[in-house]
Amino acid sequence: MYIAQELRKKSIAEYLLYMWQVEDLVRAYDCSLQRIKKEYVSRFDYTDEQKEELTDWYGNLVRMINSEGCREKGHLQINRILVQDLTELHNRLLQSSTFPFYNAEYYKVLPFIVELRNKGRKEISEIETCLDALYGVMLLRLKGQPVTPDTTHAIKEITTFVGMLSDYYLKDKTEGLNFEDD
């Protein structure tokens, strides 16, 4: 919860990746709040009040995962909406001549996106494809599994692109972006 709050302020992409990890963590504890509290939250060096807040937060996530049918896989509606918001902003940025650096970065990663979509889920947006790739490589690294040089190169480019989109998202939410073409 505390990490999520900080990440949401600084990078929506990092926040989403973190929340996907939290969804997986909840599933790893069989969506059992008692287990999460006993086996996970208890390990943090937090005050009793902070642990109670964290337990409540996980409790809400457990309820959402159960009610939204995400016990086995998938993402919570709140996270899917954020991906949709990022996708909509991505499309607006591409349609505007005001953001040539973003367009250039997109066309730089487009071959990787096409390759990933051909290997995986074609029904999801290009932005979710990028986030899936970042999340997948993060999981590989956490498991200590090798990542090929080609994948490392692709992930570096995708990271730059998603980081740029995330920065535009934050700027749009705080200051508003000026889409001259609108």
pLDDT score recorded for residue 151: 93
pLDDT at position 121, please? Answer: 79
Percent of the chain topping pLDDT 90: 87
CA distance linking residue 19 with residue 4, whole number of Å: 7
Instruction: State the average pLDDT over residues 19-47.
Output: 95
pLDDT at site 123: 85
Amino acid in position 99: F
107-126, pLDDT tens digit by residue?
A: 999 999 999 999 887 889 99
Q: Model pTM?
A: 0.90
Q: How far apart are CA 151 and CA 181, in angstroms?
A: 36
Please compute the mean of the pLDDT values over residues 41-63 and round it to a whole number. Answer: 95
Q: How confident is the model at residue 181 (pLDDT cuts 50, 70, 90)?
A: low
Scanning the structure block, which residue is given the tokens 């009793």?
A: 48
Residues in contact with 16: Cβ distance below 8 Å, sequence separation at least 6, in sequence order = 79, 82, 83, 86, 131
- Cβ contacts of 171 within 8 Å, gap of 6 or more: 177
Q: What is the pLDDT of residues 123-146, one digit of tens each?
A: 899 999 999 999 999 999 999 999
Averaged pLDDT for residues 157-174: 96
Evaluate if residue 5 carries a pLDDT over 60: yes
